[in-house]
Structure 1
Amino acid sequence: MDAGAQAEPALESLLDLAREAATLKLLAERVTAAQRSVKARTQAALDLASRRDGVERIAATLPGGETVATISLRRGETGPVVVDEDALARWVRRTYPDEEWTTTEVVRRVKPWKAAELLAEMEAAGAPQIADRATGEVHTVPGVVVRPTRARTHALTWRKGGREATAAAWRTGQLTGQLAALTAGGDAEDAPV
């Protein structure tokens, strides 16, 4: 070997890498399916507990009682949504004929910046209504409804050391019941979650 030449690093076994890739892919598919399922079940349970008892958060604890995370309910949002752009554009043109807040093409559209401004006013009002600043008249705006714009959801926030404690509980077998679906037989779609 030449003194200037470096030894080629040892290559990992291609067979071992292929096996590891296949195993991790299966595990990822099962984890994704399990996460989707537990997220939906947790949301349903949080929604029920919130309606029934006013519960907004719950602690995630290990079998030994250590709190590792908190799951908190996030409220959905409700706001104005344009459901008939043509009706909104006709109303804006009729109500503000001297303003150039619409464009005429094959159909009339409200310019995006003005639509955003009008929707913000309606969101503040909590209704598809605009108060005319000049006259004080309140207009009910056609083509817009107020409805949920983002569903309620929840978020998990780890406590300090919570990830490490959960990993340790996993390694020591304390979470076998919670993780059984990941190692059960069958395809990821068929695995119980």
Structure 2
Amino acid sequence: MTADDQTTEQPVESLRELAQQAAVLKLLAERVAAAQKDVRKRTQLALDSAAERDGVERITAKLPTGEAVATIGLRKGETGPVVTDEEALARWVRATWPDEQWTETRIVRTIKPWKLAELLGEMEAAGAPKVTDKTTGEVHEAPGVVIKPTRARTHGITWRKGGKDATAEAWRSGALAHRLAAITASEEDTA
């Protein structure tokens, strides 16, 4: 055995410790992911209610000591045009601009992707499924398109300077033990 072989081999005890650490971290990651999904859903519902009821759109996250570590705030959703009947829209584009090559016929008529993006952009800017003919100035109602939410409202966490370190220290010191106990509890404990 060469010196290089000795430096790359893991002692058996070290491998056991790594296996234990891998198993513990895997379980913790699974439990944290499930808890995060649950608290994210409940936080969104609470923020939506507070925004509707009181106009509150952000809240400060504080440690048990009262130290502010982060701000949780609503992020606006987006609304825009959504094609609900592509065939009807393609027929309308072809009938409205028959001399243009913006559509193509396959089994059904479709709109070329670049033109569809352009039309939807105009509808989004108008806030309605309407398109203005640039040649005639005529405003057309586009069939097969509705304006509706395209991305749900959500929330995000903005950490304050030093907030992550303070939270990690509160976790290490046990100050957050009551908050984190449910994450590590067995399934029988929570039933």
Which range, TM-score by smaller chain?
A: over 0.9
Which structure carries more helix by proportion?
A: 2
Unpaired stretches in structure 2, ≥5 consecutive residues: none
- Residue number in structure 2 paired with 1:137: 138
TM-score calculated relative to the size of structure 2? 0.93
- Residue number in structure 2 paired with 1:8: 6
- SS of the aligned residue for 1:160 comes to coil
Quote the offset at 1:134 in angstroms: 2.1
| Structure 1 residues 6 and 134: alpha-carbon distance in aligned structure 2, compared to 1, 3 A threshold | closer
> What CA distance in whole angstroms lies between the structure 2 residues aligned with 1:115 and 1:17?
54
| Cα deviations by residue, 1:42-87 (Å, 9 ceiling, x for unpaired) | 0000000001111111111101111111111001000001111101
Q: What pairs with 1:116-135 in structure 2 (closer than 5 Å)?
A: 116-135=117-136
1:22 aligns with 2:20: no
Aligned residues: 188
> What CA distance in whole angstroms lies between the structure 2 residues aligned with 1:113 and 1:162?
45
> What CA distance in whole angstroms lies between the structure 2 residues aligned with 1:6 and 1:111?
62
- SS of the aligned residue for 1:109 comes to strand
Output the amino acid matched with 1:19: Q
> What CA distance in whole angstroms lies between the structure 2 residues aligned with 1:19 and 1:191?
24
| Structure 1 residues 15 and 133: alpha-carbon distance in aligned structure 2, compared to 1, 3 A threshold | same
Output the amino acid matched with 2:6: E
Output the amino acid matched with 1:171: R
| Structure 1 residues 80 and 65: alpha-carbon distance in aligned structure 2, compared to 1, 3 A threshold | same
| Cα deviations by residue, 1:12-68 (Å, 9 ceiling, x for unpaired) | 533222221111111000000000000000000000000111111111110111111
1:163 aligns with 2:161: no
Output the amino acid matched with 1:115: L
- Residue number in structure 2 paired with 1:78: 79
After TM superposition, where is structure 1 displaced by more than 4 Å over at least 4 residues in a row? none
> What CA distance in whole angstroms lies between the structure 2 residues aligned with 1:79 and 1:175?
42
- Root-mean-square deviation (CA), in Å? 1.8
TM-score calculated relative to the size of structure 1? 0.92
Quote the offset at 1:107 in angstroms: 0.9
> What CA distance in whole angstroms lies between the structure 2 residues aligned with 1:147 and 1:91?
21
Output the amino acid matched with 2:144: G
**Contact kept in structure 2, 1:30 and 1:191, CA below 8 Å:** no
**Contact kept in structure 2, 1:58 and 1:72, CA below 8 Å:** yes
- SS of the aligned residue for 2:79 comes to strand
